[in-house]
Structure 1
Amino acid sequence: MKEPTILDFVKALLTPWRGRPPAIPPLEEPSITSPLPPSDEEVVVVSTEVPSAPEPGPAKKPAPQHEASEPFRVPWLSLSAVGLALLAQALLEPPREGSPLVAVGIYGLALVALLAAIWKREWQIPVLENETPPTVLPLKVRTRAALLAAGLMPFAFLALGGNRFTPLNLILWLGCLAATLVAFLLPVSSGRGLRDWLNKLRQSRWTISISRWALVLALATLVVAFYRFYRLDSVLGEMFSDHAEKLLDVADVLQGQTSIFFPRNTGREAFQMYLTALIAVVAGTGLSFISLKIGTALAGMAALPFIYLLGKELGGKWVGLVAFLLAGVAYWPNVISRVGLRFPLYPMAVAPALYFLIRGLRHGQRNDFIWAGLALGIGLHGYSPTRLLPFVMGLAVGLYLLHRHSRGRRWATVWAFGALAFTALVVFLPLLRYMVEQPDMFAFRAMTRLSAVERPYPAPVWQIFLSNLWKALIMFFYDNGSIWVHSIPGRPALDLFTAAFYFLGLVIIVLRYVRERHWVDIFLLLSVPMLMMPSILSLAFPEENPSLNRTGGAIVPVFIIAAIGLVTFLQTLKNHVHPRWGQVFSGLVGVGLLAAVGYQNFDLVFRQFDRQFMAGAWNTSQIGHVIRAFADSIGNPDTAYVVPYPYWVDTRLVGINAGYPLKDYALWPEDFEKTLEQPGPKLFILKPEDQAALEKLRALYPAGSLYYYDSHREGKDFLIFFVPPQTP
């Protein structure tokens, strides 16, 4: 029989419905199987059928026992693909020496090795679990609840005017939302489960069963929590001007100003302000930097369980776990969660919205569509880039409909997506009211980047768009931008290992789509640039692209794709290294790779980023501590001042660090004479270069003393001019 050639393989890939490459053995699970030992939840089915007696014939010698003595079989092609991808990515790590084209060429060789490994059946392409039919997508609602929701909506919309939450409009809005949920959500059980649970609580003895998989998840959660909360007080160690704006908004909330949209500093959605206000009161941290950081760190953590669930939905529990770990320890999501700004609210909305939507499309569960709409609506109150999420979700539904041929299923899906959109609209209602009242303010910040409102386009729009798109797509491997306050300028957005497996995962998903034509694969690929559009569409300011904050929604698909690449590689080792020890070997390799990922990302966040950020940030915390020490000893907070100087400290941040968050310590030189009326000692903080202001102070206060404060940070020293109490 003629051996198949590479031409046959290419033909099979390009014509998946008429021919296929040599059969790839399916995995034990419908998705990706575990390279580690099975959990307690897994069941092994043993056949009880008695084999028929063999027909008589010549005696045969017993088959030789190879399992115990068979040597290790090295999957050279698969190892070459991984090794070449790691080598290519290592050449793109800073400091880069030589042309990046060399790395591109090596990545090309990795691609060839991976294709050959798949052709030789070393590297298996995982099989997606089949979708379940839409048995619970009836085109009906609870009529009374739906009529109540429709009746309350216009009254809630009108009452939400004036950019204020009030008791009346909150009752109307939340009542409309509750009626919407009652109208659309279907019952998931008859209530017997709740009764059983209550009966168990009444028992005198409780039995708690914990599976090995639950212990694995608990350990992974502890690791991720360490990375997200370790040194949260000192990384980041300083605030910048955006933090002052946020804390002033939070102060407004604590003083009873319950805004729907906060127009300060070009406008901000309300979610972070109310979350921080809650933390400031409950945790007792007050109006402080740590209050902001606790809130955003929790928001970053909230996305991770849904990354696990979505990875499990698309590739099995091991893909979910690896995606959870990769995203949990990674430098990119970790840094944007520590800045204390709204950045992690974007992936926090994307992860549950996409999880529930994809699960709803794949399994026909209407409730999933409603939960997706709820996640979308809440996300729109978080961070402005989330406004692209409805388009991403629409893309998922459009691709699903294009790949489905059942007319009934299409209509059921369209109806369910309509219910999703209505639910999201109800949650979005307060912002919709503000958008109608103040359309310019609502869209101002986005329009300054998208249009020529603030400055003209530096080049033809189509050229800027294509350039931005290319830079965003390669940021995972090459350059994540130059914004130093939330990234390490010039380095890739992913660590060496995650970037390499992300590349391999992309190839696997492309090949699987070519063969299987499954809508999830093409959506997973297209969702990455779609979720990065808030950065790509920075057409008036292309130097701001790429940025880790506005591309944050892509965290969700990127780390799932990387996990698919890593888990399928470990599966390859398990299946081809050795019949008995392959599972142990692949498990050890997996732990080693994850440990290497953790080590590099720890270094990126807690050494490289911390050192670079502190070198660029102004030391308002040190100035604040000096003023606080003065106020707690011989002076008071009203007789300390900071003399402003161009491109120096934000004097509002000095007050926050000193413990007086609503006080601006700025005192301009032309106002020095006003301090003569103040009794008692006085303290003036100056930049060393501001000799003119220093001479003026010496002229006003001849008895004053000058001290030089050594900050132990290059270029961050400052002067302290102390005026003793005047003698009568």
Structure 2
Amino acid sequence: MKGARTQAGSALMIGSAGFLAVLAQLRLDHSPREAPDPWGLALYAWAALLLVWALARTPAWLVVEHPLREAVPDLPTVRWPWLGLSVGLMLLAFLDSGGNRFRLLGVIAWALSVIAWFVAWWNGPLPRVPRDGFLVRGHHWLLLLLLGLGIGFRYWDLWNLPLDVNSDHAEKLLDVRDVLNGEYRIFFPRNTGREAFQFYLAAATVRLLGMPLHKFTLQVGTAFIGLLLLPAMYFLGTALWGRHGGIWAMLLSAVASWAVIPSRAGLRYPFLPTFAAWSLAFLVRGLRTGRRVDFLWMGFFLGVGLYGYSPFRGMLAALPAAFLVVWLAQRGWRTPEGWRRAGDFLIGMLTALPVLTPMLRFIVDFPEVFFYRLMTRVSTWEKPIEGNPLFILTDNIRRALLMFHWTGDEVYVATIPLRPMLDPVLGALLLLGGVAAWLWMLHHRDPVPLAGLMAGFVMLLPSAYNLTFPRENPSAVRAAGALPAVLVFAALVPALWTARWSRIGGDGRRWIGLGMAALLAVALIRLNADRIFREYAQIYCQIALNASDAAEILQGFYAGGGPEANAFYVAYPYWFDSRLIGMWLGDLDWPHTIWHEDLPQAVEAHQRLPGPKLYLVHPEDRASLALLQAAYPQGWWVLRPRTHCEGLGILVFHAPPGPF
């Protein structure tokens, strides 16, 4: 009876801590940007103390099924002939990758070198189908449900959200077109330089699915990459906190707006958190099991991720830092097993080398192109650093650490501007999860969660090291390498809750406890759906430039018999990219763009063209409108408002046929 009262009391305190933490986050969410609300900070401190009291009072809450059992160490073997073959094939792939080009011989050698490397270092059992086949258990259906939820959040109404896009999309479509035309680059130098993965994925989407060169083609691919985050988070959560942790981490990654919005944007953003999650998951598995095989897969995903989005390069530091902090905490230098594990980790890191062979050749040939984007942010390559670099970095790190609960990114493309990265419930779970993680480590004498903490901190640096343009920090997309760590720590408290109530007999208390967990899941789904499909959608639509409306006006002119050569876009500073008009019209090279300063000379030539004419003019470009009215006295104009939301419309000037 006493145990039941203690159990109920602890549950009440944990629930109260969660309630106070949500109230605290709501206060911070609505506090001014100049300073956080002190009442929000006080409520968070109170919530943390309540959680510590509850978990310390009832340590049974910190017990779940052991995340992964310590494996019997594999023999530290190496197959030297296969290693020699891998190195030789790497050299061949390196030599054949000159001139920033993939070639058939080099690609074959590249793929075989990776396979040979795995064969050389593989010292565990080979994957095999169980004798009794795959048994479908209850939690497998739950995982499929979560996968379906993630698909819905990433693909529902994908055509319209986001509808209009920006110049980055136009640049990427040109790169995809280059691939389709046989220009198989390793690194794409256009637009300050871009890694190749997205362009080959989009080109494959065009070839296999028959899709056009369109922003939607980019979105389909990036949403798929974003979906791959879910199984990675399940593996990471399971490796850290057990099966319940994996399920909650997968749920959070399925719905969290910080994970979903960038995957819908059609840019390279989701490559960063997805491959960071896969790399970190196998690092944690390697730390748990001591198996070299896990470290090999860690290195493989490290190499693949470096073809995705440039801030992923931070994982080259994050993984060693994460391993080192755990190895030191375990005093690995004192035992042969510790040194063996360190050697296997080093082999895992070196596994990225065969995967990166073509990229290494590009770096050797064109280092200034590869490092250009980085150097313009950490040096004076583009502009002087205004202030003391150490002070700027310190302030950047401070603001990056506050991005989850208070500060936010001001860029509208992949986040809700100037709002915390996390919704109020998820923000509360992150803080409580951080507190619970320290209690977990003390209770279990388990330093492995430090790996997630360290990796998450290091992966904030691609945003925080921006010394030249500190206003770009915090960046929702460049700091997204920290997303896996954020979500897996946020998953801990609900994982402890469901694990505890699942162990209790089938009385009413169990179903009440699990019912509260279900309500938490519903709240997370509802909050993030509102953030993505209402709040973000409205703000994005109002800010994004409406090239789709321009294309719709032109299509109406063509459908009414107007000659295609007689419809023009009068370009104006900071208005939409004319290539995006061409994208909507099915021609990226749509040629009928006139810079507003060149309009007087262009109109003289246009007056000799037979048939009606149409000009798209910026609403603030009164000089061009006056010029057109003078050139075409019988012409008229109308302000076409936005189709889908409030915002800047388009002045449409109609010139009737005939001499002027």
Range moving further from structure 2, 701-710 or 388-397: 701-710
2:644 aligned with 1:707, yes or no? no
Q: 1:74 to 1:429 in 2, by over 3 A?
A: closer
Range moving further from structure 2, 713-722 or 520-529: 713-722
Three-state SS of the structure 2 residue aligned to 1:248 is: helix
> 1:114·1:123 contact (CA, 8 Å) conserved in 2?
no
* Residue of 345, 354, 360 corresponding to 1:426: 354
- The CA distance in 2 between the partners of 1:512 and 1:153, in whole Å, is 44
Three-state SS of the structure 1 residue aligned to 2:232 is: helix
- The CA distance in 1 between the partners of 2:18 and 2:474, in whole Å, is 27
* 1:157 equivalent in structure 2: 94
Q: How does 1:100-111 map to 2 (within 5 A)?
A: 100-111=37-48
* Residue of 400, 405, 409 corresponding to 1:472: 400
The one-letter code sitting in structure 1 at the alignment partner of 2:412 is: W
Larger radius of gyration: 1
* 1:306 equivalent in structure 2: 232
* Residue of 653, 657, 663 corresponding to 2:580: 653
* 2:618 equivalent in structure 1: 687
* 1:626 equivalent in structure 2: 553
Range moving further from structure 2, 562-571 or 613-622: 562-571
* 1:610 equivalent in structure 2: 537
Three-state SS of the structure 2 residue aligned to 1:509 is: helix
- The CA distance in 1 between the partners of 2:609 and 2:300, in whole Å, is 56
Q: Which runs of 5+ in 1 are unaligned?
A: 1-64, 201-207
Please give the per-residue CA displacement for 1:343-373, whole angstroms capped at 9, x wherever unaligned.
Answer: 1000111111111222122212222222111
User: How far off its partner does 1:166 sit?
Assistant: 1.5
Q: How does 1:92-491 map to 2 (within 5 A)?
A: 92-94=28-30, 100-121=37-58, 124-126=61-63, 129=66, 135-186=72-123, 188-189=125-126, 193=129, 210-402=136-328, 403-405=330-332, 407-491=335-419
* 2:471 equivalent in structure 1: 543
* Residue of 81, 87, 90 corresponding to 2:17: 81
User: How far off its partner does 1:634 sit?
Assistant: 1.2
User: How far off its partner does 1:73 sit?
Assistant: 5.8
User: How far off its partner does 1:133 sit?
Assistant: 5.5
**CA-atom RMSD, angstroms?**
2.8
> 1:574·1:582 contact (CA, 8 Å) conserved in 2?
no
* 1:494 equivalent in structure 2: 422
- The CA distance in 2 between the partners of 1:586 and 1:435, in whole Å, is 55
Please give the per-residue CA displacement for 1:672-702, whole angstroms capped at 9, x wherever unaligned.
Answer: 3343454444321111322322333344444
- The CA distance in 2 between the partners of 1:395 and 1:503, in whole Å, is 22
**Percentage identity across aligned positions?**
34
Three-state SS of the structure 1 residue aligned to 2:653 is: strand
> 2:234·2:247 contact (CA, 8 Å) conserved in 1?
yes
> 1:137·1:416 contact (CA, 8 Å) conserved in 2?
no
- The CA distance in 2 between the partners of 1:526 and 1:72, in whole Å, is 35
- The CA distance in 1 between the partners of 2:285 and 2:498, in whole Å, is 26
* 1:719 equivalent in structure 2: 651
> 2:77·2:123 contact (CA, 8 Å) conserved in 1?
no
- The CA distance in 1 between the partners of 2:124 and 2:606, in whole Å, is 70
The one-letter code sitting in structure 2 at the alignment partner of 1:154 is: L
Q: 1:632 to 1:409 in 2, by over 3 A?
A: farther
* 2:493 equivalent in structure 1: 565
> 2:192·2:373 contact (CA, 8 Å) conserved in 1?
yes
- The CA distance in 2 between the partners of 1:137 and 1:682, in whole Å, is 76
- The CA distance in 1 between the partners of 2:593 and 2:340, in whole Å, is 62
- The CA distance in 2 between the partners of 1:190 and 1:497, in whole Å, is 39
Q: 1:562 to 1:575 in 2, by over 3 A?
A: same
- The CA distance in 2 between the partners of 1:136 and 1:556, in whole Å, is 28
Please give the per-residue CA displacement for 1:142-162, whole angstroms capped at 9, x wherever unaligned.
Answer: 222211111222222121110
- The CA distance in 2 between the partners of 1:67 and 1:176, in whole Å, is 60
* 1:39 equivalent in structure 2: none
Q: 1:95 to 1:229 in 2, by over 3 A?
A: farther
* 2:439 equivalent in structure 1: 511
Q: 1:75 to 1:155 in 2, by over 3 A?
A: closer
- The CA distance in 2 between the partners of 1:190 and 1:656, in whole Å, is 46
Please give the per-residue CA displacement for 1:79-103, whole angstroms capped at 9, x wherever unaligned.
Answer: 3322221221121223669961111
- The CA distance in 1 between the partners of 2:10 and 2:306, in whole Å, is 50
Q: How does 1:594-605 map to 2 (within 5 A)?
A: 594-605=521-532
User: How far off its partner does 1:496 sit?
Assistant: 1.1
* Residue of 534, 548, 551 corresponding to 2:462: 534
User: How far off its partner does 1:396 sit?
Assistant: 2.6
> 2:24·2:44 contact (CA, 8 Å) conserved in 1?
yes
- The CA distance in 2 between the partners of 1:169 and 1:684, in whole Å, is 50
Q: 1:370 to 1:190 in 2, by over 3 A?
A: closer
User: How far off its partner does 1:213 sit?
Assistant: 1.7
Three-state SS of the structure 2 residue aligned to 1:540 is: coil
Q: 1:443 to 1:128 in 2, by over 3 A?
A: farther
Q: How does 1:635-650 map to 2 (within 5 A)?
A: 635-650=562-577
- The CA distance in 1 between the partners of 2:642 and 2:452, in whole Å, is 49
Please give the per-residue CA displacement for 1:185-227, whole angstroms capped at 9, x wherever unaligned.
Answer: 3462497x49x69xx9xxxxxxx86322222122222222111
> 2:615·2:653 contact (CA, 8 Å) conserved in 1?
yes
Range moving further from structure 2, 419-428 or 345-354: 419-428
Q: Which runs of 5+ in 2 are unaligned?
A: none
Range moving further from structure 2, 292-301 or 394-403: 394-403
* 2:27 equivalent in structure 1: 91
* 1:590 equivalent in structure 2: 517
User: How far off its partner does 1:567 sit?
Assistant: 2.2
Three-state SS of the structure 2 residue aligned to 1:695 is: helix
The one-letter code sitting in structure 1 at the alignment partner of 2:583 is: I
- The CA distance in 2 between the partners of 1:325 and 1:710, in whole Å, is 40
What is the TM-score when the length of structure 1 is the normalising length? 0.84
- The CA distance in 2 between the partners of 1:74 and 1:152, in whole Å, is 60
- The CA distance in 2 between the partners of 1:129 and 1:71, in whole Å, is 21
Q: 1:94 to 1:237 in 2, by over 3 A?
A: farther
Please give the per-residue CA displacement for 1:541-595, whole angstroms capped at 9, x wherever unaligned.
Answer: 111111110111111111111110222244566789x982221011110110111
Three-state SS of the structure 2 residue aligned to 1:140 is: coil
* 1:26 equivalent in structure 2: none
Q: 1:74 to 1:575 in 2, by over 3 A?
A: farther
Q: 1:181 to 1:74 in 2, by over 3 A?
A: closer
- The CA distance in 2 between the partners of 1:389 and 1:250, in whole Å, is 27
Three-state SS of the structure 2 residue aligned to 1:251 is: helix
Q: 1:240 to 1:515 in 2, by over 3 A?
A: same
